[in-house]
């Protein structure tokens, strides 16, 4: 019952370099929150102009935009990807967008069929937050398993592991940090493949991070886990369509 998340994509043209290259931004469900250490604030721009401002700065990875209400519109640019686990403050009407990568980093695996770029950290054990940080350093986030294609990819990945590792849960990017029991991915999407038995998620406030491994049937499914366990993990770098 996986549904595709509809993405609002904005294509911005880098004005400083003529008509090429174009940049693609993906709207994420990180709404009404402001991260304070922004690069620059602009007022009275359209959302497309805000994206263009971000395009003009080489290290701009995301921006937030508040449309005109009783005051002028506001545009905030960032030199990092904004995500749901980051410290932020309430800020009504603000929406956030990521700038998408053009290509897969050299040490990542590119799956052409699904246009997914990912890396297995099967031998590197980390707590969820540290794994998240490492993925961010790579320009991405912990893997988002919100479509059937990506579940298939995870399944293929586990089947490729040596037998001792197949049954070890790997961290991916699901969490219920914002509100207990409300699970979402790091891009704000909310489609989860919990086991049909209803046994998971089961850990309440002591288990707020998502792990994945095949069940006995060989079908991938998710588990809520204590975020401080040292586990292998999978990163993903989101690509432009």
Q: Is residue 74 a contact point for Ca ion (CB under 5 A)?
A: no
Site residues for Ca ion, window 163-202 (CB under 5 A)?
Answer: 176
Which one, 14 or 226, has the nearer CB to Ca ion?
A: 226
Applying CB under 5 A, among 73, 208, 210, 221 the residue interacting with Ca ion is 208
The single-letter DSSP state of residue 156 is H
DSSP string, 179-217: STT--B-TTS-------TTS--S--GGG--EEEEEE-TT
Structure tokens, 43 = 């007022």
Structure tokens, 23 = 């940049």
Which one, 52 or 176, has the nearer CB to Ca ion?
A: 176
Q: Whole-number minimum distance, CB 151 to Ca ion, in Å?
A: 21
Which one, 176 or 184, has the nearer CB to Ca ion?
A: 176
- Three-state DSSP at 172 gives strand
Q: Whole-number minimum distance, CB 203 to Ca ion, in Å?
A: 6
Map tokens 């937030």 to a residue. Answer: 64
Which one, 21 or 204, has the nearer CB to Ca ion?
A: 204
Q: Whole-number minimum distance, CB 229 to Ca ion, in Å?
A: 14
Measured CA to CA in angstroms, residue 188 lies from 36, 122, 160, 178, 200 at distances of 20, 25, 29, 11, 20
Q: Whole-number minimum distance, CB 175 to Ca ion, in Å?
A: 8
The single-letter DSSP state of residue 15 is G
Q: Whole-number minimum distance, CB 146 to Ca ion, in Å?
A: 18
Q: Which residues bind Ca ion (CB under 5 A)?
A: 176, 208
């Amino acid at each position: 019952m996986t549904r595709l998340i509809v993405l609002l994509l904005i294509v911005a043209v880098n004005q400083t370099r003529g008509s090429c290259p174009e940049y693609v931004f993906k709207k994420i469900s990180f709404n009404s929150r402001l991260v304070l250490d922004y690069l620059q604030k602009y007022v009275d721009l359209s959302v497309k102009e805000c994206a263009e401002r971000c395009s003009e700065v080489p290290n701009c990875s995301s921006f937030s935009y508040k449309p005109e209400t009783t005051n002028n519109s506001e545009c905030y640019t960032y030199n990092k990807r904004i995500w749901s686990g980051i410290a932020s403050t309430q800020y009504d009407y603000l929406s956030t967008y990521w700038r998408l990568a053009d290509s897969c980093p050299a040490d990542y695996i590119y799956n052409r069929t699904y246009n997914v770029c990912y890396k297995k950290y099967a031998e590197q054990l980390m707590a969820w937050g540290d794994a998240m940080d490492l993925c961010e350093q790579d320009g991405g986030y912990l893997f988002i398993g919100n479509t059937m294609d990506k579940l298939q990819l995870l399944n293929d990945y586990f089947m490729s592991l040596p037998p001792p590792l197949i049954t070890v849960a790997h961290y991916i990017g699901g969490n219920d940090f914002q509100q207990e029991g409300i699970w979402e991915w790091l891009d704000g999407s909310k489609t989860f493949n919990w086991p049909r038995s209803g046994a998971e998620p089961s850990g309440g406030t002591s288990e707020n991070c998502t792990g994945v491994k095949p069940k006995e049937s060989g079908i991938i499914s998710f588990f809520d886990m204590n975020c401080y366990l040292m586990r292998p993990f999978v990163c993903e770098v989101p690509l432009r369509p």
